[in-house]
Structure 1
Amino acid sequence: MIQASVPFILFDDTCEQALSYYVELFNAEVLEKMTFEDVGYTEDSRRSHCIANATFKLGNQLFYAGDVVEKNDLQPVSSKGRISFWLELDSYDVITTLENQLIQTGSTSLVGLHKTFWESHYAKLQDKFGVIWELNAQ
C-alpha cells in the first residue's frame, strides 16, 4: 500500500541554486540537504559539491530534490518539463506578485495570468531551471 507521494525534482548540477531560488521566491523551507561528498559519492570529485538529496517544504507539501548522479543517468533532465506543480495561492495579489517575481528572475510565461472558466486567477510559468509551476488563486 502506498503511504505517501513526494515529488522528486532532478537537476543538472543546479540543485543548490534552485533550492536557494525557491527559498527566496516561494519562502520554501529546506529541511535537509546532503552533497555527493556527504554521502560518499566519489566517482567524480569535481561534483562533490552537488546535491545528492534535499528535502524542502512549500506550504504543507514536501519535495525531494537532487542533482543527477551520472550525466548519462537513465532519467535525463529535460529543459521541457513533463510534469508541473500546482500551487494553490491565497489571493489575486499573491498570484500577481509571484508571477511578477518569477518573470523578473528568468522564468518564461507559458500561460499569462487570467480569469479562468473555473472562476480562479491562473498563470503557468517555467522557471529558469526548467520546472513548471501552475499558480491558481480561487
Structure 2
Amino acid sequence: MKAVNIYLNFEGKTEAAFNFYQSVFGGEFMGGIMRYKDFPPSEEFPPLSEAEKNLVGHVSLPLGDHSILMGTDVVESLCKGHKTVMGNNVHITLETDSVEEAETFFGKLSEGGHTVMPLEKTFWAEKYGACTDKFGVHWQLNYTRNKAQ
C-alpha cells in the first residue's frame, strides 16, 4: 500500500477549514483548490447551482513527507442524498499500489457494510470507491497510478 490519508467532508466550510489547517501545518495546497466548476463534464453529475459550482470539490494539503489531509464540500445531490454530519465527515483513504489491491481491500471492507460508491474509474483515478464497513468506519480507496491527489 502506498499511503493512508485522511479525507474530511464539510458543508460549505472546506475552504475556511483548509486555510486554517494550512496556517497550523504550513505547506502549500497540491494543485491549488479545485472547485466543482473545475471538474470535467460528466453524465454522472447532475446540474449544479452557481453556489454549488463554487464550492470546494477537492483540496489536498501535505502533512510531512508521507501523509495528505484532503477535503471537499459535500453536495448532497452528487452524493445521492448523503447528509454530512459530525461523525460521518472523516474518511480513511487508502492509496493502493494496484487495481487488484484496491479491489481486494474494497471487497473485504465493504462486506457486511454499505457501498457508498462502487469501485470504478473516475477522472482522477483508475479505480475509486467509498464504503462504510460493518463497524461504521468510512473508507475511500484510490488507485491513481501516477495521478496527483
TM-score of the two chains, using structure 2 as the length reference: 0.46
Query: Larger relative contact order (C-alpha < 8 A, sep ≥ 6)?
Result: 2
Report which of the two has the higher share of strand. Answer: 1
TM-score of the two chains, using structure 1 as the length reference: 0.49
Please tell me whether Structure 1 or Structure 2 has the larger radius of gyration of its CA atoms: 1
